[in-house]
Amino acid sequence: MVYTVTLNPALDCYVSPEALVPGRDLRYGGCRFVPGGKGINVSLLLASLGVETMALGVAGGFTGRELAARLEGQGLATGFVFLEDGLTRVNIKITPPGQPETALNGGGPEIPPQALDQLEKRLAALAAGDFLVLAGSVPASLPAGVYARLGQRVPAGVKVVVDASGPALAASAAARPFLMKPNREELAEAFGEPASTREEMVGLAKKLQSLGARNVAVTLGGEGALLVDESGGVAFRPAVEGSPRSAVGAGDSFVAGFLYGWSQGGGLDQALDWAVSAGAATAFREGIASGEEVRAVYRRAFGGQR
């Protein structure tokens, strides 16, 4: 079972006025709501791939209830802690025809200590062999080390995966995660050092390992991905050939693909193959790819039959 935690989920509201003109009243014909959040994206793709998963996190008010209802309507199990005060944020995505998207992203509610305590109690029910994915931004009301705290509360034998940025990235290594997945920019920011060359990226990944991480996968966008494993090995995969449309959700899909590949029993090499396939499948479309789209990319890129 793969459990994902999203501390700052969102409802993304997409609207398409005829044009975006500052200072004018504009009309749009309708809006489309899409559940958002890195851990949620991981669970959605895993579910589509046939992996048992549950989306956990913190949600608030009528927007939080709508978020959970939409996920459950898609067949995804959820286990959110609901706040007594505050609303799950709504991100407004304005997409006029032929114009670049303009986004108004909310900051999220304040998370009180008792909500975090409730979440920890739910994580205590995980069992050896489960995975826990801690992904996304850390709300301003919580310390940068919150992922380390959550990762250290799970029972022995639970494998922790972290996809974080900023101060939370290095801090979360204290949980000794099975996998950490920064992109190149996040890795450089975490240590205040350049990550331009492969040698520099490997060196910074090993710094994360010295802080506690077991395996570190660095996503490189259109250049592919790099994996530094706990035995000291370094593996690289070039990007899958195709026509990228959007980078949104590609990193989350990479994590889901990695866990799916690992579940197939082929070890880290196969996990990396599936990870780059899943990231590419999402990059080639708008929104998170389906399991069938991921499998199609995997077969094309690596000749696999699963």
pLDDT digits (tens, 9 = 90+) for 254-274: 999 999 999 999 899 999 999
User: What pTM was computed for the model?
Assistant: 0.95
pLDDT at 266 (0 to 100): 87
Closest listed residue to residue 10, CA positions, set 34, 36, 32, 29: 36
- Bridge partners (DSSP) of residue 15 are 31, 94
pLDDT digits (tens, 9 = 90+) for 137-166: 999 999 999 999 999 999 999 999 999 999
Q: List the catalytic residues.
A: 252
From residue 55, give the alpha-carbon distance in Å to each of 64, 71, 85, 106.
13, 9, 21, 21
**What does the alpha-carbon distance between residue 161 and residue 152 come to, in Å, rounded to a whole number?**
12
Amino acid (one-letter) located at 301: A
pLDDT digits (tens, 9 = 90+) for 52-89: 999 999 999 999 999 999 999 999 999 999 999 999 99
pLDDT at 233 (0 to 100): 96
Task: Read off the tokens for 220.
Answer: 């490189």
pLDDT at 164 (0 to 100): 95
Q: Answer yes or no: is pLDDT of 20 > 90.
A: no
pLDDT digits (tens, 9 = 90+) for 84-112: 999 999 999 998 988 888 889 998 899 99
Q: Answer yes or no: is pLDDT of 172 > 90.
A: yes
Backbone dihedral angles phi then psi of residue 167, each to the nearest 5 degrees: -60, -25
Q: Using alpha carbons only, how large is the chain's radius of gyration in Å?
A: 19
**H or E element: which one contains 33?**
strand 31-36
